[in-house]
């Protein structure tokens, strides 16, 4: 399916809160992990479509700092699934010249997954056709606090002065310092909140919600979100 929107009207960066995998599986009397597996396939399909349309940056909320509260067997299964998915998709990322970026407190995740992530980041570092960011063990509050700690250390070491700290300079210390803020946030499953995701970065992002669970999200849904975005007038606090 092609999208009849001029490139200047398309969002350059779309962020996704992929909600509803577990409920999708439970509705079908399946284990929750089956919903997460189906959701991983949707990430692959939606990424291919979006990059084909010319959307350069995609960011997916894969695992939050709060998700550790889930049952241990589900967390372990999610970590294994992330490892499998990154390994499975790496050849496609390399072929399509897509760079992988991972944000979050990566040091807290299992060593085998850290090794996989670092390997694929290295293998895709020269990608120039798009950036796929995975938020893993990520929280918006963590991101802001982490940036504050980096700034405080630089002030302490005399590298910057207090008067140098402003919104533009603060941006350099957050995890997405090297990519633009999202133009559009899509959240599935009928929930209307941002759940500690990209709190700094979403200041002026357009929001789009659907009742569909993530495993049912498809090309038509992405098209409708982009069409809706194209009709909006972004003011960024102005008139």
The answer to whether residue 199 scores a pLDDT higher than 60 is yes
Specify the number of domains making up the chain: 1
DSSP string, 21-41: HHHHHHHTT--HHHHHHHHHH
Return phi, psi of residue 59, to 5°: -130, 125
Is 73 inside a domain boundary?
Answer: yes
- Is 4 a domain residue? no
Domain for residue 148, yes or no? no
Q: Has residue 37 been placed in a domain?
A: yes
Report the percent of the chain where pLDDT is more than 70: 98
CATH code where residue 111 lies = 3.40.1180.10
Residue 153 located in a structural domain: no
Strand partners of residue 15: 59, 185
Average pLDDT over residues 97-114: 96
Residue 106 has pLDDT above 90, yes or no: yes
- Quick check: is 202 in a domain? yes
Whole-angstrom distance between the N-terminal and C-terminal Cα of the chain?
35
Residues with a known catalytic role:
19, 67
Query: What is this structure's pTM?
Result: 0.95
Q: What is the pLDDT of residue 91?
A: 93
Strands (E), the chain: 13-17, 57-64, 98-103, 130-138, 184-187, 206-209
Predicted pLDDT at 8: 86
Q: Could you tell me what percent of the chain has a pLDDT over 90?
A: 92
Range of the domain at 199: 9-138+182-231
Give the ranges where 11-139 is alpha helix by DSSP (H). Answer: 21-27, 32-53, 72-95, 111-123
Give the separation between CA 60 and CA 101, rounded to whole angstroms.
Answer: 10
Cα distance between residue 53 and residue 191, in whole Å: 27
Task: Return the pLDDT at 238.
Answer: 63
Mean per-residue pLDDT, 161-174: 93
Q: Give a yes or no: residue 159 inside a domain.
A: no
């Amino acid at each position: 399916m092609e999208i009849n929107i001029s490139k200047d009207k398309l969002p350059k960066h779309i962020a996704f809160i992929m909600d509803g995998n577990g409920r999708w599986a439970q509705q079908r009397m399946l284990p929750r992990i089956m919903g997460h597996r189906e959701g991983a396939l949707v990430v692959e399909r939606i990424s291919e479509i979006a990059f084909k349309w010319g959307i350069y940056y995609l960011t997916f909320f894969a695992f939050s700092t709060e998700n550790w509260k889930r049952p241990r067997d589900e967390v372990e299964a999610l970590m294994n699934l992330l490892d499998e998915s990154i390994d499975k998709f790496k050849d496609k990322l390399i072929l399509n010249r897509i760079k992988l970026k991972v944000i979050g407190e990566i040091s807290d995740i299992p060593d085998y997954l850290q090794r996989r992530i670092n390997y694929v980041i290295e293998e895709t570092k020269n990608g120039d056709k798009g950036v796929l960011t995975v938020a893993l063990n990520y929280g918006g509050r963590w991101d802001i606090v982490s940036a504050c700690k980096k700034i405080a250390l630089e002030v302490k070491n005399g590298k910057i002065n207090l008067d140098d700290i402003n919104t533009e300079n603060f941006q350099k210390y957050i995890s997405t310092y090297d990519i633009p803020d999202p133009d559009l946030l899509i959240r599935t499953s009928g929930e209307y909140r941002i759940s500690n995701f990209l709190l700094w970065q979403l200041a002026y992002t357009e929001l789009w919600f659907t009742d569909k669970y993530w495993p049912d999200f498809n090309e038509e849904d992405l098209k409708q979100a982009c069409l809706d975005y194209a009709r909006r007038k972004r003011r960024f606090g102005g008139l």
